[in-house]
Amino acid sequence: MDLILTVEDDLNINNLLKEALEKNGYPCVQAFSGTEALLVLERQQFALILLDLMLPGIPGEEVLRRIRQMSEVPVIVLTAKDALDTKVNLLLEGADDYITKPFEISEVLARVVAALRRGGQKTASEELTCGELRLERTAHKVYAGEHEVHLTRQEFRVLELLMRNPDRVFSKQEVYDYAWEESFIGEDKVVNVHISNIRRKLKPFTDREYIETVWGIGFKLK
Same domain, 106 and 9: yes
Q: Name the CA dihedral angle for 35, 188, 154, 174, rounded to a multiple of 10 degrees.
A: 40
- Which residue type sits at 22? E
Q: Which pairs count as long-range contacts for 136-143, CB under 8 Å and 24+ apart, including other chains?
A: none
Residues 198 and 161 in one domain: yes
Asked if 61 contacts 93 with a C-beta cutoff of 8 angstroms, the reply is yes
Q: Does residue 95 share a domain with residue 202?
A: no
User: Which pLDDT tens digits describe the chain residue by residue (222 residues)?
Assistant: 578 999 999 999 999 999 999 988 889 999 999 999 999 988 888 889 999 988 998 999 899 988 888 778 899 998 876 655 556 666 767 888 888 888 899 989 998 988 888 766 554 456 888 999 999 877 788 999 889 999 998 899 899 889 888 888 888 888 887 787 665 555 568 889 999 999 999 999 998 999 999 988 899 998
* 4 Cβ contact list (under 8 Å, min separation 6): 21, 26, 27, 28, 29, 46, 47, 48, 49, 50, 112
> 159 is in which domain, residue-wise?
127-221
- Domain end: 121, 147, 170, which one? 121
Structural contact between residues 51 and 75, judged by C-beta atoms closer than 8 angstroms: yes
CATH of the domain at 22: 3.40.50.2300
Question: Is 0.85 surpassed by the pTM of this model?
Answer: no
